[in-house]
Chain A
Amino acid sequence: MNNVEKLNEIFVEIFSCNVSELKTEFNKDAIDGWDSVRQLTLTSAIEDTFDVLLDPEDIIACTSYNAVIDVLRKYEIEL
């Protein structure tokens, strides 16, 4: 599995969505139920999967699919 597939799997599992929905519009405001519980589960899963430790401001920044990609690139994860 490549990194994009790993990331998509995390999203699908947490938000019970389809991979096809994972694009620009997939964000905190558009997704019903994107709350602090899901966001922290998301960032913890990212930390475990990609073996990184996110800074607090990056945890807060993970409010959309695209933002998560940007954050991961900052930690030099290739996507």
Chain B
Amino acid sequence: MFLNLNKKNPDKIAVIDDSGESLTYGDLCKYAEEFASALPYRTLIFILSENTNGSLLGYTSALSNRVVPLIISNKTEQTLFDSLYEKYQPEYLWLPTQRVDDFDSNFNEIVYTTHGYSLVKTSFKTPELYEELSLLLPTSGSTGSPKLVRHSYRNIEANAENVMNLFELTSDERAMAVLPMHYTMGLSVIASHLYAGATLLLCNKSLLDAGFWKMLKSGATSFTGVPYSYELLMKLRFTRMDLPNLKIITQGGGKLKEEMWMHLANYAQEKGKKFIATYGQSECTARMAYLPAELALAKPCSIGIAEPGGKLSIVDAEGNESFEGEAIGEMVYRGENVTLGYATCKDDLTKGDENHGVIHTGDIARRDGDGYYYIVGRMKRFLKIFGLRIGLDELENLICSNFDTDCYCSGTDEKLIIKITNSDVIDIIPMFIEEKTHLFHQRIEIIVIDKIIRNEAGKVINQ
């Protein structure tokens, strides 16, 4: 069974969500069987996810029954949802029961309901799917890019296994799972702890909600966050709180500022906790590298070494690949968690493995003499603001197809900069981007310029 869920202690609590309701490993198996009697064959579904038990049951039940889900946020903006829906044509949706009526014109049949979620049949037919295809996630959760990452069954299990080993997870863990399920690292927290037979504290509330703090203080043993999560925690003076059960604080989803890093590393050392920074991409089923806790103070801002089961290398400007010694260049990863490849249309769901266990990360890394990696730049055009990947090409397409302006997007992981040529749309664009991507408009700067100049290859010259 998926993640060997049927081999755990059936009476052990697998998950408690923020409503206080819990499910045992036995329950996960039982609901997977119920799901199978409602949907007894392999097909494509969309999961409109929240961090709740109902949403989680859709994930564990679908994967246990070889039903392939695309997991997207339940808050996905409607037109972005519609484009994914038309493009991939899921035969079923797993969505909050209270939202079923939002889609009534398209759907005719609720086939199964449990824990506030329903399985609804659409009018689409069963698609052809590659036999090892297990799960789809969007590459850019926020811009609604139709480009998806194709995962195999082995990818998910390999990630769960590697993460379990690197954190030395046992069934005694109570992991705070507050990163969204539709986000690769959020899903990695879920899969790795279920694989370890541990208990998930599944939280759909924000870090500024009393409900989150209640869960964290109810004996959570680990917390996983993105850089922005730690900004919030620091603002709430988290390091002064008495959290005796919390053993591991871990971070991914972008680079921490050095000051924050040192703050966390010192806090962990003083309080006898482990601070473990990690690095990953959805293309590799989340995690790929980690810095062992004992090196947090000695190697600030390093992503460390490959996770157990993986291998990192650097390809320098001359194209030479090296696995040790000082080097700088594009970082390459090898491992069983390297996904099958992308899908940009429905037909791609029949494709097999295109990566063959090797991924060129698109990140520029430096490796020090001891073999530890540091991310120093990025080859691909995207930003990571609040842990969200924002594809700049996709954003430009979105703006140019909705407004009468030329546009060029750039920026840092702090701020998105949009250059436009039509000053009439200067006030509308930040609101438009906020509506589409949920990126806070104060993190967007609009600059009006006369003309965006491109060379023959289409590359923008006046960046």
Chain A residues within CB distance 8 Å of chain B: 13-14, 16, 33, 35-41, 43-44, 56, 59-60, 63
Contact = CB atoms under 8 A, between A and B. Distances in A.
B8 interface: no
B210 A60 contact: yes
Interface in B425-463: 431, 434, 438, 440-442
B111 interface: no
Given A33-B438, A37-B386, A60 B213 contact: yes
A60 B209 contact: yes
Contacts of A43: 235
6 contacts: A16-B441, A33-B438, A37-B440, A56-B237, A60-B208, A60-B209
A36 B236 contact: no
A16 B441 CA distance: 9
Nearest to A41: B442
Contacts of A33: 434, 438
A59 B440 contact: no
Given A36-B206, A40-B232, 11 more contacts: A14-B442, A36-B209, A37-B386, A39-B208, A40-B208, A40-B231, A43-B235, A44-B235, A59-B208, A59-B236, A60-B209
Contact of B232 (A16, A36, A63): A36
Nearest to A13: B442
A16 B431 contact: yes
B14 to A, nearest CB: 27
Interface residues of B, number: 19
A59 B235 contact: yes
Closest 5 pairs (CB-CB, A-B): A36-B206, A56-B236, A36-B208, A39-B208, A37-B440
A60 B434 contact: no
A14 B430 CA distance: 12
A41 B441 CA distance: 11
Nearest to B235: A40
Interface string B225-238: 00010011001110
B207 interface: yes
A63 to B, nearest CB: 8
Contacts of B207: 36
Interface string B198-215: 000000001111100100
A63 B212 CA distance: 14
Contacts of A60: 208-210, 213, 236
B442 A39 contact: no
Nearest to B440: A37
Contacts of B237: 56
Contact of A39 (B206, B386, B431, B434): B206
Contacts of A16: 431, 434, 441
Q: Which of A13, A38, A60 has the most CB of B within 10 A?
A: A60
Contacts of A39: 206, 208
